[in-house]
């Protein structure tokens, strides 16, 4: 019997575990620090096993990897290179949904020599975005077309009926990762010119897009889009932007939060345990007047502006105790957001992934091609985020076990032999794109 070792049992693990448990002749081992979480995923399935594993216990980690045929790491990305080195030494394949770090990329030659594949970026974003983009790009090339512009945007959002707060966003777990992403500069290509947006202006640099069957969204650039020009084979392209989707009101509010300094996480504070949110916010705008008016003045906004009302809705002007023993300013903001912006029982989330291509053909014929994935979570079941992150990786595991992937080294799913079968399988389980093409000249 083949053995799959899954490291981690977080919120995206369940769809993957369920998929793998349904494979005949495959035993699924879930190893995690809190074994009760693994047991909850495995249940009483005869081909499942839940084990305790501390990732820092390298001897135990090595032992479990040695007993497996393939490893899936759902751990934080900083642990992936350590897991990968053990996999290479033991000649075991590895699958992760995380971006390829420099430490992971450095293992490419070593993994190839060992005949091991290290598949990364095979979740949603990154993952399904790569695969769906490459499927279209390769098709355009086969028709002798040239991609002149590509904008790819993705967002995990509340489903429309659950979109009931002023910021248009909700969290399934700690907001810290989402907030940290707002501290990165953005770099992209627009109309042939390289554009750099500093983190301080990131949320001020949004635009709006209407997506059929989904609605209107705010869009802002996501980190560095330039490497994807080479990655997707789009030399000569004039516009290349990877971006994030949010509901209306998010960007102007986050820009204000950024300008106030609430995203700072450069030091851990031990003086906030007895402070209220209002006292904490006052530190960013010294004075003795009305806090709302002082904040509005600092942001150059009228006091009745929607941004001020959203900050008020978050409870940042109140006497409510922060009740954190130690943490950064970003931790304080994250706590306030999670208290008011968590999903309620039976509420659904929604994934929207949208590609916009401008294509030119040899006869000067030009087209605008849009491809959209919309997926909804299940009330009290799997979230759309969990499904779309973990199922591509689970399908890749199956393909490796069945000997359908012959590649070695560090890989991401931009090759046809990887993306085509994964997209086909996703389509069978209801995760598929809808395309629209419009002739523009």
Tell me the catalytic residues: 125
| Pick from 349, 407, 410: nearest CA to 381 | 349
Task: Return the number of other C-beta atoms located less than 10 Å from residue 223's C-beta.
Answer: 17
Contact (Cβ atoms closer than 8 angstroms) between residue 106 and residue 118: no
In order of 24, 29, 398, the CA distances from 338 in angstroms are 40, 32, 36
**Can you point out the beta strands (E) in 100-257?**
117-119, 146-158, 186-190, 193-197, 207-211, 215-221, 239-246
User: Residue 6: beta bridge partners?
Assistant: 30, 72
CA angle 112, 117, 121 (to 5 degrees): 125
Q: How far apart are CA 50 and CA 32, in angstroms?
A: 8
| Selection from 177, 134, 28, 62 nearest residue 411 by Cα | 134
The Cα angle at residue 227 between residues 352 and 119, in degrees rounded to 5 = 70
Tokens of 14: 């369940």
- Rounded (10°) angle between helices 35-42 and 13-21: 50
Per-residue HEC secondary structure of 32-85 comes to ECCHHHHHHHHCCCCCEEEEECCCCCHHHHHHHHHCCCEEEECCCHHHHHHHHH
Q: Are 417 and 405 in contact (CB under 8 A)?
A: yes
Per-residue buried b or exposed e for 358-385, using 16+ beta carbons within 10 Å of the residue's own CB: bbbeeeeebbebbbbbbbebeeeebbbb
Whether residue 394 contacts residue 20, with contact meaning beta carbons closer than 8 Å, is answered with yes
């Amino acid at each position: 019997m083949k053995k799959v070792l899954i490291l981690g049992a977080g919120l995206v693990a369940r769809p993957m575990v369920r998929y793998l448990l349904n494979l005949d002749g495959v035993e699924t081992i879930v190893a995690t620090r809190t074994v009760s979480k693994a047991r909850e995923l495995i249940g009483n399935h005869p081909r499942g096993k839940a084990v305790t594993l501390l990732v820092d216990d390298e001897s135990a980690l090595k032992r479990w990897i040695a007993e497996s045929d393939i490893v899936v790491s759902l751990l934080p990305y900083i642990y992936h290179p350590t897991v990968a080195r053990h996999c290479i030494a033991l000649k075991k394949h590895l699958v992760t949904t995380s971006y390829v770090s420099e430490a992971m990329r450095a293992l490419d030659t070593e993994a190839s020599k060992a005949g091991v594949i290290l598949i990364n970026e095979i979740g949603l974003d990154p993952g399904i975005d790569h695969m769906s983009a490459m499927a279209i790009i390769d098709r355009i090339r086969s028709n002798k077309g040239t991609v002149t512009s590509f904008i790819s945007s993705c967002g995990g959002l509340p489903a429309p009926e659950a979109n009931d707060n002023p910021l248009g966003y909700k969290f399934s777990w700690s907001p810290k990762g989402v907030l940290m992403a707002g501290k990165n500069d953005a770099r992209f290509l627009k109309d042939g010119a390289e554009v750099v947006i500093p983190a301080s202006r990131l949320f001020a640099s949004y635009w709006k897009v209407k997506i059929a069957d989904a609605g209107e969204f705010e869009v802002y650039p996501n980190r560095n889009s330039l490497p994807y020009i080479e990655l997707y084979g789009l030399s000569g392209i004039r516009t290349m932007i990877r971006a994030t989707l949010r509901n209306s009101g998010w960007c102007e509010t986050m820009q204000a939060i950024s300008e106030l300094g609430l995203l700072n996480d450069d030091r851990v504070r031990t003086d906030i345990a007895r402070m209220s949110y209002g006292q904490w916010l006052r530190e960013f705008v010294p004075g003795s007047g009305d806090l709302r008016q002082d904040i509005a003045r600092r942001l150059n906004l009228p006091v009745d502006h929607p941004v001020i009302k959203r900050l008020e809705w978050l409870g940042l002007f109140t006497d409510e105790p922060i009740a954190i023993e130690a943490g950064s300013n970003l931790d304080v903001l994250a706590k306030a957001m999670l208290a008011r912006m968590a999903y309620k029982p039976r509420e659904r989330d929604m994934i929207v992934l949208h590609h916009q291509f401008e294509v030119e053909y040899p006869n000067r014929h030009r087209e605008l091609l849009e491809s959209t994935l919309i997926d909804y979570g299940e009330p009290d079941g799997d979230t759309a985020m969990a499904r779309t992150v973990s199922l591509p990786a689970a399908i890749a595991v199956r393909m490796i076990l069945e000997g359908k992937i012959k590649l070695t080294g560090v890989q991401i799913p931009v090759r046809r032999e990887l993306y085509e079968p994964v997209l086909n399988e996703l389509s069978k389980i209801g995760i598929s794109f809808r395309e629209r093409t419009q002739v523009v000249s």
